[in-house]
Amino acid sequence: MNSDATPLLDVRGVSYRFLGVQALSNVSAAIGRGEILGLIGPNGSGKTTLLNVITGIYRAMSGCVLLEGRDITHLEPHAVAAGGVMRTFQAPRLFSRLGLLEHAIIPMSAVSRPVSLSSLVCNLGRPWASFNRAATEVLRRVSLTDATGVTAGSLSYGQKRTLELVRCLAGSPKLLLLDEPTAGLNRKETEDFHSLLGALASSSGIAILVIDHDIEFIQALCHRLLVLVNGKLISNGPPERVLADPQVIDSYLGEGLRNAVG
């Protein structure tokens, strides 16, 4: 990891307020190329809000977000996605009546050729099935195979989570933002997902920011941890240091874990 180079994503002093609630206060963090960051904290601490600000659903009320040096604070979500930042959601958002390949084709084509009249006209002659080969490739990376008649709605919960990952990967992202990707999965599915993430990170050099409550997993996978409590970033560093931080233990981890971590 070259910490001297411009970080891939640079969040600087971002604040955001809902009616009456300060969801984020002056949050600053940076992610480098190929880094894997864990974002942990109690429920309601602003983790998803931070993701929403980065991807452009919410506009930061102060501070800025830089992607490879470019200011993306005011960009719309589709532009952020096209810029290489892909995300998943707490509850998987899929196109339930569309098949698996389609989930890969949509981001693939949207990112490479943004919506415009010329792209529409060009595409008139090109059935979407012509993207099938490339789409199958993406599915293969996550060990999913398409079958006729299979729609996203008919998948198991674990497969749905994986399909969301497909949607992200198909857009050739530089950064993945994952919002509790293993919530609701059983032990086996969770382990599979975690090893998948690890493999993806090492093989493709994609940076990952993952929100999760599974401390063991976070510890094993992440290079660094961010701890968000009540909208404030209270810790930022390698897992061993962060998890031993008394402030973190007080506000989030609890005594039991302190003894476990040692």
Partner 1 sequence: MTIGLLLYYVSLLGITLLLVQSLNLIWRVRLFSLGHHGFFGLGAYVAVMVTKILVPKGAGQLPVGLGQRLEGLGVVAASVLAGFGTAFSVAWVMGRFFRRVRGDYFAVATLIFAEIIRGSFSNISYVGGGLGFEAPYLVLSRVGEERILYEAFYSTALLMVNILVFAIVRRIDGSVYGLYLSGLKEDCIALEHSGVDVVSLQSMLFSWCCGLAGAAGAMFLHFTTLVVPGDFSFVNGLPVILAVAMGGLHSSGCVMAAAFIYIVYEGLKNGFFGLLEWEYAAMASDWKDAILGLILVVSVVSLALRGRRRQVVRRHEEGP
Partner 2 sequence: MRYLADQVLNGLSLGCVYALLAIGFAMVFGVLKLLNFAHSEIFATGAFIGYFALRWLTPDFAGSPLLLLLAAIMIAGSGAGVLAMIIEKVAYRPLRDYRGEGVLLTAIGVSIAIQNIGIQFFSAHARGYPPLELPFPPKAVAVVILVLSFLLLYGLIHWTSLGLEVRAIAEDLSTSRLLGISPPRLVTLTFFVGGFFAGVAGVVWGIVYGVIHLQMGFYPGLKSFIIAVIGSIGDLPGTFVAGIGLGLLECLLAAYLPPPISAYRDPLTLSLLLALLVWKPHGILGSSEPEKV
* 79 in contact with partner 2 (CB under 8 A): no
Q: Give 27 or 170: the residue with its C-beta nearer to partner 1.
A: 170
Quickly count: other Cβ atoms within 10 Å of residue 1's Cβ.
10
Q: Under the rule (CB under 8 A), what is the footprint of partner 1?
A: 55, 57, 76-79, 81-82, 86-87, 89, 93-98, 102, 105-107, 109-111, 114-117, 120, 123-128, 131, 154, 167, 171
Kindly state the number of chain residues that form the binding site for partner 2, as judged by CB under 8 A: 7
Closer residue to partner 2, CB minimum distance, 57 or 64: 57
**Cα–Cα distance between 158 and 234 in angstroms, integer?**
32
48 touches which of partner 2, partner 1, none (CB within 5 to 8 A by kind)?
A: partner 2
Query: Which stretches of 19-129 are assigned E, i.e. beta strand?
Result: 21-31, 36-40, 62-67, 70-71, 85-87
Asked if residue 43 binds partner 2 (CB under 8 A), the reply is no
Instruction: Read off the tokens for 76.
Output: 């719309």
Q: 160-187 b/e with 16+ CB inside 10 Å = b?
A: bbbbbbbbbbbbbbbbbbbbbbbbebee
95 binds partner 2 (CB under 8 A): no
In angstroms, rounded to a whole number, what is the distance separating the alpha carbons of residues 124 and 177?
Answer: 33
Tokens of 144: 């999913």
x/- map, 176-215, partner 2, by CB under 8 A: ----------------------------------------
- Residue 113: count other Cβ atoms within 10 Å of its Cβ: 14
CB 79 within 8 A of CB 72: yes
Nearer to partner 1, 27 or 106 (CB): 106
Per partner kind, with CB cut-offs from 5 to 8 A, the member of partner 1, partner 2, none near residue 110 is partner 1
**Among 53, 86, 83, residue whose Cα is nearest residue 69:** 83
5/21 with CB nearer partner 2: 21
Sign of CA dihedral 199, 200, 203, 209: negative
Task: Give the residue, chosen from 18, 122, 137, 195, that forms a contact with partner 2 under the rule CB under 8 A.
Answer: 18
Q: Which amino acid does the sequence have at 199? A: A
Beta carbon nearer to partner 1, 132 or 230: 132
User: Binding to partner 2 by residue 157, rule CB under 8 A?
Assistant: no
Residue 19 found at the interface with partner 2 (CB under 8 A): yes
Contact residues for partner 2 (CB under 8 A)?
18-19, 48, 52, 57-58, 89
